[in-house]
Amino acid sequence: MKVSWFGTLLVAALGAGGLMGCTHPPPRDQNIGPAPPFVSGTYDCGAASTWKTSTFAGLVPAVQRAVANDNPDNALTGLLRTHAAEEVTCVAGYVHDESVKQQATATDKDLAGKRVAATQAWISEQSARGLTVTNYTGDAR
Amino acid sequence: MPEYALVAENNCVPPDVLAFIAAAINLQMQRDVAPVWGGEVWTCVALDSLSGVASTGARKILTFKTQLGLANALGFHTESSGVDYAEALPPATPAPGQAIDGTTASHEVVETFGDPTCNAYVAGPSGRRLARELADPVEADAYPISVRIGPETRQVMVSNFVLPSWFNGGAGPYDYLEHLDAPETMTKGGYFEYLDGSGNSQQVFADARGRLAWLAKMTNPSSRVQARVRGAFSRAAAAPLRT
């Protein structure tokens, strides 16, 4: 285990030294077209059919960035240009729940608290449009 | 206290991988680091960019880059003009079913937590003034955190770190994984730095592997900017082995 770990270090270091550039494949959630039209209903975030423009985890950094904006509702709305509303709302649900946990434990609760408020507002807004999501939780252990 | 945001320059880390690493480090900081290091809990999130992100002094940034600001490093954390930040090379792409390598990011976040301004030293049981770097002595050791995001579960490797007893002496354990049996010791590949009686920086390596996994603290006396660097690989730069 330790040997293979060192091998990883070595490969990474040599890769950088050789100026090979980024060796990763393109991100899986690259958007290739306009978002699907809004369709109200209840979506299962765990179902493959829900994910049309991204993977669940692949959309997390975009939603986290949007809710870190001074105007999170506007930034989340901007994501609808390239992602389906149900996708953004699934991830907003995940970010909400994770931020609630962070708010409960973090020494500085301000940033997590802003995420809770922003995602709650978004989820409520989508619910008012007739879009709800289920099965969006996550955990780490 | 702050939140660490992980960002990947030019998408050099896939966004899903970035999200899994951030979630793992977030748990590590809350569950593993905070309880033994004073209870302060830092959070960690992944951002796809900093575009439009509201400025706040509470957020530190770790940027994955294919070329770092310091040559031959896998990652480093530093302070410049009152701003703490870190950089790291992207982790290798894991094969299907393999764990994501979050160790470099974890290492830098944990060490920023231990010494945000990169200039803290602690008088150890030996009398040496030890750099307050929490991961260096056990930097080759990692453990997995299982992260589920929606329907997907991935394993993420994060870095081992030393405990207060490593600096203060007394009864163990001395590191999170309980590999060490005494203060001021290292596991294979480990490293630590201290100031000698003349105030000069000295490095101690656990072994030849530790020498190659060159860890150093860079000091710029004119600006007082200090960076602590992880995992550079340079035979030419490797210092003589000190024990």
- Res B95: pLDDT: 87
- Res A21: pLDDT: 33
> What is the ipTM score, two decimals?
0.86
Backbone φ, ψ for residue A90 (5° rounding) = -60, -50
Which helix or strand (DSSP H or E) is residue A93 part of? helix A85-105
Both tokens of B231, joined, read 């995992």
pLDDT tens string B208-240: 665 555 444 333 332 223 455 654 432 223 332
Give me the residue spans of the domains in chain A. 28-134
pLDDT tens string B45-97: 999 999 999 888 888 999 999 988 777 778 888 877 777 788 999 999 888 88
Give me the residue spans of the domains in chain B. 3-228
pLDDT tens string B148-204: 999 999 999 999 999 999 999 999 999 999 999 999 999 998 989 999 888 888 889
CB contact under 8 A, A60 and B19: yes
- Res B203: pLDDT: 87
- Res B212: pLDDT: 55
- Shortest alpha-carbon distance between residue B97 and chain A (Å): 15
Residue B113 in contact with residue B223, Cβ under 8 Å?
A: no
User: pLDDT averaged over chain B?
Assistant: 84
Instruction: Give the full edge-to-edge strand order of the sheet including B75-80.
Output: B43-47, B3-8, B59-64, B83-88, B75-80, B225-233, B213-220
CB contact under 8 A, A138 and B147: yes
Q: Count Cβ atoms below 10 Å from residue B169 Cβ, excluding itself.
A: 15
Rounded Cα distance between B139 and B77, Å, is 15
A-chain CB neighbours of B93 within 8 Å are 23-25
pLDDT tens string A44-98: 999 999 999 999 999 999 999 999 999 999 999 999 999 999 999 999 999 999 9
Range with the poorest average pLDDT among A16-25, A68-77, A89-98, B104-113: A16-25
- Shortest alpha-carbon distance between residue B127 and chain A (Å): 31
Q: What is the pTM of this model?
A: 0.85
Nearest residue to B86 (alpha-carbon basis) of B55, B110, B51:
B110
Please, what is the end-to-end C-alpha distance for chain A in angstroms? 21
Confidence of residue B40 (pLDDT cuts 50, 70, 90): confident
For residues B9-28, average pLDDT? 97
What DSSP line would sit under B14-49, residue for residue? -HHHHHHHHHHHHHIIIIIITTTTTS---EEEEES-
CB contact under 8 A, B90 and A22: yes
- Res A20: pLDDT: 30
- Res A103: pLDDT: 93
Interchain CB contact of A113 with B (< 8 Å) = no
Please, what is the end-to-end C-alpha distance for chain B in angstroms? 37
Half-sphere exposure of B144 (CA within 13 A, CB side): 11
Contacts 24+ apart (CB under 8 A), B214-223: B214/B72, B214/B238, B214/B239, B215/B136, B215/B139, B215/B191, B217/B118, B217/B131, B217/B133, B217/B193, B218/B70, B218/B76, B223/B80
Residue B77 in contact with residue B86, Cβ under 8 Å?
A: yes
